[in-house]
Structure formats: structure tokens, C-alpha cells
Chains A and B, each alone.
Chain A
């Protein structure tokens, strides 16, 4: 029973709200270790109130149990805070294929007051269906904490966008 084997199993567990992604793709799976025959999995929530954290823990425990790991402990880690920059390239590709616009990369956050944004920033979000860059924000909040809703001005289809944090 090695950490490597446990990591392979944990890496296959899918996100309950975005099942096209694994928890590893999403950057939520932070660490898998084995200590005294016990698997310690560390995950980090996307948003403070993310209700899917509960399901993630249960899914990880169940999948690891089914793969023969008897004792599994899932821990929640807060620091460093999750950022959409941790979504892997593979994860971004899978999101786009599923019709969900992946987030842009934001990079390190500048120190100091967070600048006020009085108007929505100019769109840099291409339509995941037709690729057009002419898209507009319909709603700053969506079906889950991590998504906003947009519409393409060319193909007229609405689509979800993982908002950058």
C-alpha cells in the first residue's frame, strides 16, 4: 500500500458538481500520504461555503475503501487559498469540451487594497461552442458558487464560465 497507489486512486475521483473534471484537474486535491497504513487525503474548498466539499470527502473515502485502502482520513486545508489558476491544462480542455468556458489565468494577486470594479471588464472569454470572442455576461453568479453565466453574441448560445478567483 503505497502513497503512489493511493494518489492514483484519489486522482480518479470526480468533482460532484463538475463531473467532467477530477478533483485533481480542479486543483482541489492537494496531497495524498500514507502514514501507519492510513491514507491521509488533503483537499481544499473552492469557496468558503462550497457545499460540495462534503460530497468530495465522502467520494474520496468511498473510492479509496473500494480500492482496498482500509483506513482513510480526509482533511480540509485552508491555506493557501484555492485559486482557479490551479485548474490544470487538461482540466481547462475538458471544461471547454463540456461547453463550460474555463477561467483565464490571473497570476499572483497584487498586495494592497483590492481595486473596485464598477463595470464588467471587457470580455476575454471566448465562446466554448463557436470560439467567438464576442460574449457578454448575463449573470455574475450561476448554478454553483464558482460559475457565472454568459451569452455568445454570434451563435447566441448561453454558456457557463468558471469565474477567476
Chain B
């Protein structure tokens, strides 16, 4: 394909669409899309929202690093990781909307839900840099914990009863393991580096540690679907301990989970940072409904 200028390709879509334009009539063609009889559709839709929101919200956070990375390679790395997560989020939200059956597509779910309807864990939404809440080390600490947890979660979803979620997990698993290893290598490099880098890496781990417990606390939807995240806590602990040992970092003491009035992201109750994040994510689409590129 050739274009006279680089921007032409951006508008050469047969199907104009908000913010992207796959133009595919069936984004999930090729996998069996019936909801298995063993699964409650409302529970499955909720679970797809939880998984999709985790990916969407962390993708938005990582994208904040665009043009602000400590070096060009890391700028590119963070953008690539954000892109993988965005791709996973699109598929999961499409599935959530399809199972819900109320006519909401991925755009409606990403751009038109209010804060209380988002189901992501707090770890995905908190600020870890580049603006406030941390720095590159904090961002790597969060990425290590998040992607270690997700890698374990997706590896169990390979055999999940819903074939669509299983297919998305099979694809995403390879990406997440690569993200995890990338974060792990940075945690080792910084933890085992200079006194300054060690101290900042330790501070980054401390920043995200209060959000660890929530990752392994099952929501009743997860319990009913047989996907209790507590089942893989030991596996994630083992990964984190291996990284800390190589980095010369002590595993922090357990701290009480950071919650909002005792409730968590899976309940739709979020930290203060979430409103600001959604404002940036949604404002254009809400200001100019139906806008296309």
C-alpha cells in the first residue's frame, strides 16, 4: 500500500470508527462464541469486564510515559506493553458487551461507563509516575507485580469454560510473560545497581505493596465461576521472591490492604486517582459523541 503522505493511511478506512477502525464485522470470528450452558451469562459478562478493565486502565497509565521514558528504548518498550494490554482490553470488552447482550460494544464500555461501573483492581489505576506517585522504578515495581499476577491468572484461564476468554488468555499469556520478564530485569538492574537506584527501587516496591492483597481476594463472581485468584498466590509469591533475591531487595512486610471503606476495585469502588484517569481517557469521546478520525 502506498500513500502520498503518512496521514492518508489514517483516514483510508472503509469503516470509519472512533479511535480505531478494524472494520471487522466480527471481531471475534473464528472461535465458538456461544456462552457455555455451565456459565451464568451475567457472571461471565462481569468477569470479562474485570479482566478487560484491568488491561485497559493499566494500558492508559503506561501510555502516560509516551515521550517521557528515561531513554528511547524504554519509551518504546512501555508504549509496546501498553499496546498489548489495549489489544487484550478490546477483545475482553467486546466479549463482555456481547455476553451482556445490551448492545454495548468495546467503545461504549470503555468511553461511556462511569467510575462506579469499572471493575479493575486498584493496582492498575494508582499513580506510579511519570507525573506523581513515583518514578520509573515505581512503574517497574507495579508492572512486575501486575504482570506476574496476570501471567498466573491467564495461564489458568487457558482451560476456562468460555472458549473466547480462553483464546484471549492463550494469546495474552505470551505477551504478559514477556512484560513480566522485562519488569523483572529492570527490578534486578535497579535493585542491584547503585545505592541511589537501590533505594528508589525499594521505595517503588513499598509504594505498590499495599495493593497486593486485593489481587488475591476473590469477588463473589469469581468464586461462582471457579476462578478464585487465591489459588495462584503461592505461584506469584515464588516469582516475586526470585526477583527480589536476584535484586538484593527484601520482601516488604505484609501491610493491610489499601481499600476504600473496606471495598475494592472489583466492587466498583476506586481510589481518588481513578476519576482523573477516566477524565483523560473519556473526555474527547464524551465531548464529541460519535467523533471519528
Contact = CB atoms under 8 A, between A and B. Distances in A.
Band of interface residues on A: 35 or more
Contact of B173 (A47, A114, A116): A114
Interface of B: 1, 9, 12-14, 20-31, 73, 76-77, 80-81, 83-88, 90-91, 151-152, 155, 163-164, 166-168, 170-175, 177-178, 180-182, 184-185, 188, 235, 239, 242-243, 246
A133 B88 CA distance: 35
Interface of A: 16, 30, 42, 44-45, 47-51, 53-55, 57-59, 61-62, 73-82, 112-114, 116-120, 138-143, 145, 149, 163, 165
Contacts, number: 140
A30 to B, nearest CB: 8
A113 B235 contact: yes
Point out which of A47, A61, A77, A120 has the most chain B C-beta atoms below 10 A from its C-beta: A47
Contacts of A113: 151-152, 155, 235
A165 B31 contact: no
Given A58-B12, A58-B14, A76 B87 contact: no
A139 B77 contact: yes
B76 A141 contact: yes
Contacts of A79: 30-31, 163, 166-167, 170-171
Contacts of B184: 116-118
Contacts of A51: 20, 83
B43 to A, nearest CB: 22
A42 B76 CA distance: 30
25 contacts: A45-B171, A47-B84, A48-B171, A49-B84, A54-B13, A54-B21, A54-B23, A75-B25, A76-B29, A78-B30, A78-B91, A79-B31, A79-B163, A79-B167, A82-B171, A113-B151, A116-B184, A118-B188, A138-B73, A139-B76, A140-B182, A141-B80, A141-B182, A149-B73, A165-B178
